[in-house]
Amino acid sequence: MQNAAKHSGAATIRVELRQVAGSLECVVADDGSGYDVGTTAAGTGLTSMRDRIEAVGGTLATRSTPDLGTRVVALLPRAGD
């Protein structure tokens, strides 16, 4: 949410939490400026999030399109798995 608020210029930021196959899925989506993930390197914020999530066995995926916003999805394993 901090990255979206700081960089996207979004009017809306949505957060969703749900259980998916015994894991926790956290989605943060905004309707901001977006960016081209193919040509724009991940900044410190996304890199740090990915490092922390992968350190506990999770995954982080980012989808973004210029002028159409960004969606970041973290999938975290259930504790003890």
Asked whether residue 27 is domain-assigned, the answer is yes
Q: Look at the block and give the residue holding tokens 């740090």.
A: 48
To the nearest 10°, report the CA torsion of 70, 43, 54, 66.
20
> Which pLDDT score is estimated for 38?
79
Count Cβ atoms within 10 A of the Cβ of residue 44 and give its class: 0-12 exposed, 13-18 middle, 19 or more buried.
exposed
Answering whether pTM is above 0.95, one says no
> Which pLDDT score is estimated for 43?
77
Question: What mean pLDDT value characterizes the chain?
Answer: 88
Q: Residue 59 sits in which domain range? A: 2-76
Asked whether residue 81 is domain-assigned, the answer is no
- The structural domain count of the chain equals 1
Give the contacts of 50 (CB within 8 A, at least 6 positions apart): 42, 60
Query: How far, in Å, CA of 50 to CA of 39, rounded?
Result: 18
Quick: pLDDT tens for 11-29: 899 999 999 888 999 999 9
